[in-house]
Amino acid sequence: MFSKYDIIVVGAGHAGCEAAAAAANLGSKVLLITMNMGTIAQMSCNPAMGGVAKGQIVREIDALGGYSGIISDKTTLQFRMLNRSKGPAMWSPRAQIDRMRFAEEWRLALEQTPNVDFWQDTVTGIKLKGDKVSGVITSLGIEIDAEAVVLTNGTFLNGIIHIGEKRFGGGRTGEKAATGITEQLVELGFEAGRMKTGTPPRVDGRTLDYSKMEEQWGDDERGRFSYTDVPLVEEQRCCWITYTNADVHETLKEGFEKSPMFTGRIKGLGPRYCPSIEDKINRFAERERHQIFVEPEGWNTVEIYVNGFSTSLPEDVQYKALTQIPGFENARMFRPGYAIEYDYFPPTQLDLTLETKLVKNLFFAGQINGTTGYEEAACQGFIAGVNAHQKIKDKHELILKRSESYIGVLIDDLVTKGTEEPYRMFTSRAEHRLLLRQDNADIRLSKMGYELGLITDDRMEKVGHKIKNSDEMVDLFKKESVEPDQVNGLLEELGTSTINQKTKLIQLLSRPQVGISDLRKALDSLDKNLGEYSAEEIEQAEIKVKYESYFEKELEIVEKMKKMEDREINPDFDYQTLVSLSKEAREKLVRIKPRTLGQASRISGVSPSDISVLMVHMTK
């Protein structure tokens, strides 16, 4: 019934979809197996993409030729650039998304991608030939062959859902869990662990009183995720903010004795940065209120996502507490919040390509690796899909560096250090975050996407223009001067000191108060000169003139670290014979098999002196 596929992708969430699309676009024949074709690219939790650090990841995926950015732009309800008051490395795109349209767009995109086949079934195990994966086995008893397999099982592996004292198997509310894979992999020698996450209740938007809440609108001038010119949804929808109060907290506390969290029924570790509401009031008892974001789930649906109210308390307690929130007095609940426990595989068992070290041609991506978040999952899926293709076609691997992308930071962190709690990206995880900006993801990464064949000539040309034109503008600012009477009025207006002699534009632009658009208003010739450049190019030039010195300093650090960072370690390097290494370092190095000295230095338990010892022996 099935011909032989190049690559089978198991699971059709954010990771699975990106993996399938990338591999298929590279030319592999891909089979995407999902338990339910109706839930492809389901946003299981909040209806939003991006955010601080996450938004940068979406842009990176887009710059490499993935789909998440395009699909987000097509289905945006509201767009905001977070952190505008900070430096440009902190600017982070975030969008509220129409959940149903997002899933639909993904499905349509995959359907339109040549080389992607679909099959609705549950994979219960992988097939092996020696130490190499050779296909999958499904719950219908079908064996399907492939050269490589990408597992993106999300929260489905032995998933258990908790609502109060009730517990039942499931991968998402209303959907079955998947069994068999964990057991087989553990038997093969994989180490598995348990994690926990949760989601808030959804309510009927028609039953809320928005007049009691604060409105939260998107940016007037909206930005985007994709570097392509995918048309943006111009209209935006409002979100609201409201707060819990002492009554809400009292009600929730009544349910604590039935909470699976506090009674110890949940064993998996949950993310500390995404705590349940019961966790918040328990750990931060001194706080009188907590913020609740009221987010629409789509353009046409009345369903509302109650962001900030993740809970696994009994549904009646959830309901009662909800109705004590201002604006929620008459709320009707559509779906209760719940917690879910699931299996993951500590990601130190992976190589930087996301291939498992134990089974060749088997790749893991997404929550199965202990991460959380759509963006984190999507980028892993993309990398796994690309590398699965490259591996079976005998082409070069795609490994991104920490100094060139958040994706590189994420995968290096996972593979090198592992994670105990669901891993989410933060900008602080990136040591060179000044360089990893949302404005330059295309400049950083498109060339790699282009070389793979995922970025078109047109797009590459656009990136070239952006670099060239922004440099041209910077040169212009360095060259051109203005007389005091040309700009002093403007400078006064902007609240910065006036000038008393001819001054170079670049000096004016280095002032925090002065922007290019301000100068254009005052200087007709400049306005004309810049007329031919796109807004994106002008923004790039502005970022360069204002922050170049910081970037240069950071680049110097990168350059300094490079010798160590890029120094490759022979994969067959025999650590066991190096008695000078500490015992812990030796064990970890054997297990993790770092590719470079830089990676080795980040393994916890490997000290600088262990690195010196390694260097000595590598020079042999």
State the nearest-atom distance from the C-beta of 491 to other proteins, in Å: 18
Query: Per CB under 8 A, does 267 bind other proteins?
Result: no
Using CB under 8 A, which of 434, 508, 509, 530 touches other proteins? 434
* Binding range to other proteins, per CB under 8 A, among 107-115, 269-277, 459-467, 532-540: 269-277
Best CA proximity match to 244, nearest among 289, 305, 202: 289
Query: Per CB under 8 A, does 393 bind other proteins?
Result: no
Query: Per CB under 8 A, does 290 bind other proteins?
Result: yes
Find tokens 């014979």 and name the residue.
Answer: 577
Q: Give the H or E element holding residue 118.
A: strand 116-120
Find tokens 């070389």 and name the residue.
Answer: 451
Instruction: Report the residue number, 428 or 570, with the smaller CB distance to other proteins.
Output: 428
Using CB under 8 A, which of 139, 245, 301, 582 touches other proteins? 582
Query: 239: exposed, middle or buried (C-beta count within 10 Å: 0-12, 13-18, 19+)?
Result: buried
Instruction: Report the residue number, 93 or 449, with the smaller CB distance to other proteins.
Output: 93
CA distance 190 to 420: 16
Residue 526 has phi, psi (to 5 degrees) of -65, -45
Query: Per CB under 8 A, does 513 bind other proteins?
Result: no
Please state the three-class secondary structure of 216-245 as a single string.
Answer: ECCCCCCCCCCCCCCCCCCCCCCEEEEECC
State the nearest-atom distance from the C-beta of 542 to other proteins, in Å: 14
Whether 129 contacts 62, CB under 8 Å: no
State the nearest-atom distance from the C-beta of 612 to other proteins, in Å: 5
Query: Per CB under 8 A, does 570 bind other proteins?
Result: no
Query: Per CB under 8 A, does 431 bind other proteins?
Result: yes
Using CB under 8 A, which of 167, 567, 584, 587 touches other proteins? 567
Instruction: Report the residue number, 180 or 515, with the smaller CB distance to other proteins.
Output: 515
Residue 385 has phi, psi (to 5 degrees) of -60, -45
Q: Measure CA of the first residue to CA of the last residue in the chain; give whole Å.
A: 55
* Binding range to other proteins, per CB under 8 A, among 102-110, 479-487, 518-526, 601-609: 601-609
The amino acid occupying position 306 is V
State the binding string over 440-459 for other proteins (x if CB under 8 A, else -): --------------------
State the nearest-atom distance from the C-beta of 617 to other proteins, in Å: 7
State the nearest-atom distance from the C-beta of 132 to other proteins, in Å: 35
* Binding range to other proteins, per CB under 8 A, among 158-166, 481-489, 587-595, 603-611: 603-611
Whether 192 contacts 349, CB under 8 Å: no
Half-sphere exposure of 243 toward its Cβ, with a 13 Å CA cutoff? 7
Q: What is the DSSP string of 128-169?
A: EETTEEEEEEETTS-EEEEEEEEE--TT-BT-EEEETTEEEE
Query: Per CB under 8 A, does 396 bind other proteins?
Result: no
Q: For strand 503-504 and strand 481-482, is the pairing parallel, antiparallel, or unpaired?
A: antiparallel
Q: Tell me the C-alpha to C-alpha distance, in Å, between residue 561 and each of 36, 220, 592, 610.
A: 47, 42, 21, 17
Instruction: Report the residue number, 90 or 386, with the smaller CB distance to other proteins.
Output: 90
* Binding range to other proteins, per CB under 8 A, among 86-94, 152-160, 249-257, 465-473: 86-94
CA distance 567 to 544: 31
CA distance 573 to 618: 9
Q: What is the DSSP string of 467-514?
A: HHHHHHHHHHHHH-EE-HHHHHHHHHHTTS---SS-EEHHHHHTSTT-
Query: 424: exposed, middle or buried (C-beta count within 10 Å: 0-12, 13-18, 19+)?
Result: buried
How many binding residues for other proteins (CB under 8 A)?
A: 58
* Binding range to other proteins, per CB under 8 A, among 34-42, 454-462, 469-477, 574-582: 574-582
Best CA proximity match to 344, nearest among 362, 364, 370: 370
Best CA proximity match to 328, nearest among 164, 200, 211: 211
* Binding range to other proteins, per CB under 8 A, among 132-140, 156-164, 207-215, 274-282: 274-282
Using CB under 8 A, which of 232, 580, 584, 587 touches other proteins? 580
Query: Per CB under 8 A, does 527 bind other proteins?
Result: no
Give the distance, in angstroms, between the CA of residue 11 and the centroid of all CA atoms in the same chain. 18
Using CB under 8 A, which of 132, 206, 212, 283 touches other proteins? 283
- Three-state secondary structure call for residue 328: coil
State the binding string over 8-47 for other proteins (x if CB under 8 A, else -): --------------------------------------x-
The amino acid occupying position 504 is K
Using CB under 8 A, which of 4, 186, 291, 576 touches other proteins? 291
Using CB under 8 A, which of 112, 428, 500, 570 touches other proteins? 428
State the nearest-atom distance from the C-beta of 586 to other proteins, in Å: 11
Instruction: Report the residue number, 51 or 170, with the smaller CB distance to other proteins.
Output: 51
Query: Per CB under 8 A, does 562 bind other proteins?
Result: no
Query: Per CB under 8 A, does 343 bind other proteins?
Result: no
Query: 357: exposed, middle or buried (C-beta count within 10 Å: 0-12, 13-18, 19+)?
Result: middle
Using CB under 8 A, which of 202, 222, 280, 593 touches other proteins? 280
State the nearest-atom distance from the C-beta of 592 to other proteins, in Å: 17
Using CB under 8 A, which of 341, 442, 554, 565 touches other proteins? 554
Query: 426: exposed, middle or buried (C-beta count within 10 Å: 0-12, 13-18, 19+)?
Result: middle
Using CB under 8 A, which of 308, 370, 422, 598 touches other proteins? 308
Instruction: Report the residue number, 529 or 580, with the smaller CB distance to other proteins.
Output: 580
Instruction: Report the residue number, 396 or 620, with the smaller CB distance to other proteins.
Output: 620
Query: Per CB under 8 A, does 52 bind other proteins?
Result: yes
Query: Per CB under 8 A, does 265 bind other proteins?
Result: no
Q: Could you list the residues that contact other proteins (CB under 8 A)?
A: 46, 51-53, 82-83, 85-87, 89-90, 94, 271-275, 280, 283-284, 287, 290-291, 293, 307-308, 426-429, 431, 433-434, 512, 547, 550, 553-554, 560, 563-564, 567, 578-582, 607-610, 612-613, 615-617, 619-620
